[in-house]
Amino acid sequence: MINLLPYDIKKQMRAARMNTILIRYIILSGFAVAFLILACATTYFFIPIIFSVNNNTNSNKTLSSSNVTIQSQANAIVSNLSTANSILNQQVMYSTILTNIASALPTGTMLESLSLSDASFGNPVNLKILAISSNLEPTIKQNFSSQNLFSDYKLQSVTDNGSSSSKYKKIININIAINKGATQ
């Protein structure tokens, strides 16, 4: 007899069956969520009661002894941090030095060689700079002299570059001293 029903009514009956199944799942899911919430709330309230210490005097004694150990640990951490701070204050940031050298070089120049070490600070460091023309040397001198990171600018030589294929025709050799205190 169901097969004799019109197509629209059969479609509506299938939808009604699906709706009842869907309502059952929704109600079942609601009960499951309510059970989980109830279980979490019960656990939240009863766990501290189960694990609480019955004797307050024992807990006070352990607290006072743990305070002493915590205080000694805190003092050790403070001394370690002060040691680390002094080490970090002595640290030299080579990236700062390199970016300051790059910013001191004007357009039309290129640094060919540079060697830095811990002994380089406060002592003259030789920089070999390739330049398009020797007219850039006063600009290089002014740029290096204006930065507090560098001192004792001295021009060593200005020579012709041996390779004719390069657009950098001049080699400018200078000595500068790098101030270690300015790098921090």
* Angle in degrees, CA 39, 43, 49, rounded to 5: 150
Q: Out of 79-88, 154-163, 174-183, pick the least confident.
A: 174-183
- Inform me whether the pLDDT recorded for 59 exceeds 70: no
Residue 162 domain-assigned?
Answer: yes
The pair of structure tokens assigned to 62 is 């352990």
Q: Does the residue 150 lie in any domain?
A: yes
Give yes or no: residues 171 and 129 share one domain.
Answer: yes
Whole-angstrom distance, CA of residue 176 vs CA of residue 101: 11
Query: Rounded mean pLDDT of 60-71?
Result: 72
pLDDT digits (tens, 9 = 90+) for 97-145: 888 888 888 888 888 877 777 777 778 888 888 888 888 888 888 888 8
DSSP 122-163: TSEEEEEEEES-GGGHHHHHHHHHHSTTEEEEEEEEEEE-S-
Structural domain total, the chain: 3
Mean pLDDT computed over 58-81: 77
Confidence check: pLDDT of 24 > 80: yes
Question: Which residue segment(s) compose the domain that 67 sits in?
Answer: 63-91
Higher pLDDT, 183 or 78: 78
Residue 8: both structure tokens together: 């629209």
